[in-house]
């Protein structure tokens, strides 16, 4: 053993710990779920590493998670024989937050305990939750493949510093000892721990074992969870609570999911999908390095996290498991990229997810509205990204329109088409930087007067959306700010005549305006599309939209 060294936590860790202890106390038992979840991840990663790195299967011991307590020492101990950590890994993973979205998370904190508790949940509770019940945590670990002398011991009271030393550790994997806070003795009870494990961790596909008599180490170990992969069980045996807890484990989320789909496919290829739509967007949703959330398994063995092969970018919020019976266990990223099996799984998984969203929209519109608020702008990317499913995605889009009661996007393109005026053959939209700007735009005047609905688009992605979606169910999408406002059959004769008459009467004025503006404009003409404003600027038909031009120039006006 070497000398102990002391290190300071990253400032954010201290803040997070403080917050966590206070806001999550009422739900303190989740610490065990988080620690078992980490142990399970560590064993998953070991199994995968064993497929590719030689020399990692150092013993024949069964892979398992062990939970015990000691009444006299007032400790709970969680041990796994998973991948373990090297000294550097301990420093990188424990004591630092290296997650994307960290800055956003801290900015979003409000000081309101209840709101912040939800935020912490979204951000991920993880290892630090041990400090909810413990005032000292000792972690001893050794990375698989390193020698027994390269064990590491980490210890902290969670108040700003941790100590690190190199220790002898004959077994690979991680042992975590929680020294309980004063008043937490209720946890030193076999039945209590058993109940917590069965409530939160029954779905873990590895055996979780406890000494028969809890603290009595002499007693024989018994398996206390079902220990089979949840997705491989018959649906009839799985309850909502099982699905919810499993979701929290795979998604590293704290809240229940919004919806899930579970289906076993048996055709050319055999595979199982267990996929979830989260209720809230993760912090890194818009970051380039955002994690994809689907885990690939082969015959129940975890293989790897998706990096885009299983779910397209526009469905990057989907979480869950895909388990294939056809891929080889030692499948590599390279193989995945060019695998017919994967192509097949991916395209059917995408269809299933879109189908799930469609059902949600039809049967549970409130949930769908929630989904749309959280993920709508991501789904819009699909219109451009996934040509083969474009029509299905288009049906899932929701917009605010001139007929919406609030700023909530509540109108689908099908709703719009169903409400179209007689003689109307286009879907009209207006792109504006804000809803307020949209509502006061002079371009809308004639549409208001005639009672024609206009979609109000205000997100950065919407320019891209309308370029990628030229029509919907045979109706062209048409900007109200573009070209001659051709209302076609909806324009009556009287209006046409009045328009022509104005053109003749005002020809002198028009000439003067043209002269004054010179080549700053392509044309000056009269219009009958305005009712109260004297004039407005329109973009030429083939030109880029004015708004798009403004955005591209970055003037933002």
Q: What is the CA radius of gyration of the chain?
A: 30
Binding-residue total with ligand ADP (CB under 6 A): 16
Residues paired with residue 162 on neighbouring β-strands, in sequence order: 7, 156
Residues that bind Mg ion (CB under 5 A): 38, 126
Q: How far is CA 466 from CA 22, 361, 401, in A?
A: 47, 22, 15
User: Least distance from C-beta 201 to Mg ion, angstroms?
Assistant: 12
- What string of H, E and C letters represents the secondary structure of 203-214? CCCCCEEEEEEC
Question: Does 174 sit near ligand ADP (CB under 6 A)?
Answer: yes
Q: Footprint of ligand ADP on residues 233-252 (CB under 6 A)? A: 252
Q: Which of 9, 31, 82, 394 binds ligand ADP (CB under 6 A)?
A: 82
Residue with Cβ nearer ligand ADP (85 or 431): 85
Residue with Cβ nearer ligand ADP (126 or 158): 126
Residue 207, phi then psi, degrees to nearest 5: -65, 135
Question: Does 124 sit near ligand ADP (CB under 6 A)?
Answer: yes
Residue with Cβ nearer Mg ion (230 or 452): 230
Residue with Cβ nearer ligand ADP (127 or 162): 127
Look at residue 83 and give the partner it binds from ligand ADP, Mg ion, none, a contact being a CB closer than 5 to 8 Å depending on partner kind. ligand ADP
Residue with Cβ nearer Mg ion (97 or 465): 97
Residues 457 and 401: their CA atoms lie apart, in Å, by: 8
Residue with Cβ nearer Mg ion (320 or 458): 320
The tokens for 32 are: 């065990």
Look at residue 42 and give the partner it binds from Mg ion, ligand ADP, none, a contact being a CB closer than 5 to 8 Å depending on partner kind. ligand ADP
The tokens for 130 are: 């041990």
Q: How many residues does the chain have?
A: 557
Q: Which of 127, 200, 302, 429 binds ligand ADP (CB under 6 A)?
A: 127
Q: Footprint of ligand ADP on residues 302-361 (CB under 6 A)? A: none
Do the Cβ atoms of 150 and 143 come closer than 8 Å?
yes
Look at residue 401 and give the partner it binds from Mg ion, ligand ADP, none, a contact being a CB closer than 5 to 8 Å depending on partner kind. none
Query: Closest CB to Mg ion belongs to which residue?
Result: 126
Question: Does 121 sit near ligand ADP (CB under 6 A)?
Answer: no
Question: Does 201 sit near ligand ADP (CB under 6 A)?
Answer: no
Residue with Cβ nearer ligand ADP (82 or 207): 82
3-class DSSP assignment, residue 525: coil
Question: Does 280 sit near ligand ADP (CB under 6 A)?
Answer: no
Q: Report the 10 Å Cβ neighbour count for 275.
A: 27
Residue with Cβ nearer ligand ADP (204 or 456): 204
Residues paired with residue 141 on neighbouring β-strands, in sequence order: 152, 174
List Cβ neighbours of 496 (8 Å cut-off, separation of 6 or more): none
Residues 190 and 262: their CA atoms lie apart, in Å, by: 34
Q: Comparing C-alpha atoms, which of 203, 224, 232 is closest to residue 300?
A: 232
DSSP 312: -
Residues 553 and 557: their CA atoms lie apart, in Å, by: 10
User: Least distance from C-beta 37 to Mg ion, angstroms?
Assistant: 5
The tokens for 126 are: 């993880």
Question: Does 39 sit near ligand ADP (CB under 6 A)?
Answer: yes
Q: Which of 36, 83, 204, 230 binds ligand ADP (CB under 6 A)?
A: 83
Query: Closest CB to ligand ADP belongs to which residue?
Result: 126
Q: Comparing C-alpha atoms, which of 140, 138, 117 is closest to residue 180?
A: 138
Binding site for ligand ADP (CB under 6 A): 34, 38-39, 42, 80, 82-85, 93-94, 124, 126-127, 174, 252
């Amino acid at each position: 053993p070497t000398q102990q060294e002391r290190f300071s936590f990253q400032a954010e860790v201290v803040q997070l710990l403080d917050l966590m202890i206070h806001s999550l106390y009422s739900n303190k038992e989740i610490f065990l779920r988080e620690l078992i979840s980490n142990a399970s991840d560590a064993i998953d990663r070991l199994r995968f590493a064993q497929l590719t790195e030689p020399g990692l299967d150092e013993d024949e011991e069964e892979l398992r998670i062990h939970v015990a307590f000691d009444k006299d020492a007032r400790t709970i101990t969680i041990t796994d024989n998973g991948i373990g950590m090297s000294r550097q890994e301990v420093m990188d993973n424990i004591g630092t937050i290296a997650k994307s979205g960290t800055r956003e998370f801290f900015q979003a904190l409000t000081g309101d305990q209840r709101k912040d508790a939800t935020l912490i949940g979204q951000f991920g509770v993880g290892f630090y939750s041990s400090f909810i019940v413990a005032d000292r945590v000792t972690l001893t670990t050794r990375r698989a493949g390193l020698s027994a002398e390269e064990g590491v011991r980490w210890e902290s009271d969670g108040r700003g510093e941790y100590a690190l030393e190199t220790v002898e550790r004959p077994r690979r994997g991680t042992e975590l000892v929680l020294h309980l806070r004063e008043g937490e003795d209720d946890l030193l009870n076999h039945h209590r721990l058993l109940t917590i494990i069965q409530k939160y961790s029954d779905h873990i596909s590895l055996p979780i074992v406890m000494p028969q008599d809890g603290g009595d180490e002499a007693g024989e170990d018994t398996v206390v969870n079902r220990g089979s992969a949840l997705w491989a069980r018959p649906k009839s045996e799985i309850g909502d609570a099982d699905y919810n807890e499993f979701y929290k484990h795979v998604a590293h989320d704290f809240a229940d999911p919004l919806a899930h789909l579970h289906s076993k496919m048996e055709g050319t290829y055999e595979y199982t999908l267990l996929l979830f739509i989260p209720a809230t967007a993760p912090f890194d949703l818009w970051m380039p390095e955002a994690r994809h959330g689907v885990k690939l398994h082969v015959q129940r063995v975890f293989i790897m996290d998706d990096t885009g092969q299983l779910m397209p970018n526009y469905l990057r919020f989907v979480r869950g498991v895909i388990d294939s019976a056809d891929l080889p266990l030692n499948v590599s990223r390279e193989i995945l990229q060019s695998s017919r099996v994967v192509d097949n799984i991916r395209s059917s998984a995408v269809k299933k997810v879109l189908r799930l969203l469609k059902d949600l929209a039809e049967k549970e519109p409130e949930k769908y509205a929630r989904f749309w608020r959280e993920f709508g702008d991501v789904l819009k990317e699909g219109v451009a990204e996934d040509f083969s499913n474009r029509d299905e995605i288009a049906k899932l889009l929701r917009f605010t329109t001139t007929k919406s009661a609030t700023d909530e996007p509540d109108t689908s393109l099908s709703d719009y088409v169903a409400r179209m005026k007689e003689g109307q053959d286009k879907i009209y939209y207006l792109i504006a930087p804000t809803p307020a700007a949209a509502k006061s735009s002079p371009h809308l005047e004639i549409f208001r007067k005639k009672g024609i609905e206009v979609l109000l688009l205000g997100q950065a992605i919407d320019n891209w959306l309308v370029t990628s979606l030229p029509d919907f169910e045979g109706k062209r999408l048409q900007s109200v700010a573009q070209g001659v406002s051709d209302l076609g059959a909806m324009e009556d004769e009287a209006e046409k005549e009045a328009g022509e008459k104005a053109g003749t009467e005002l020809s002198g004025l028009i000439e003067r305006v043209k002269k004054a503006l010179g080549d700053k404009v392509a044309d000056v003409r009269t219009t009958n599309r305005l009712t109260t404003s004297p004039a407005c600027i329109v973009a030429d038909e083939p030109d880029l939209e004015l708004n798009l031009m403004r955005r591209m120039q970055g003037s933002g006006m």
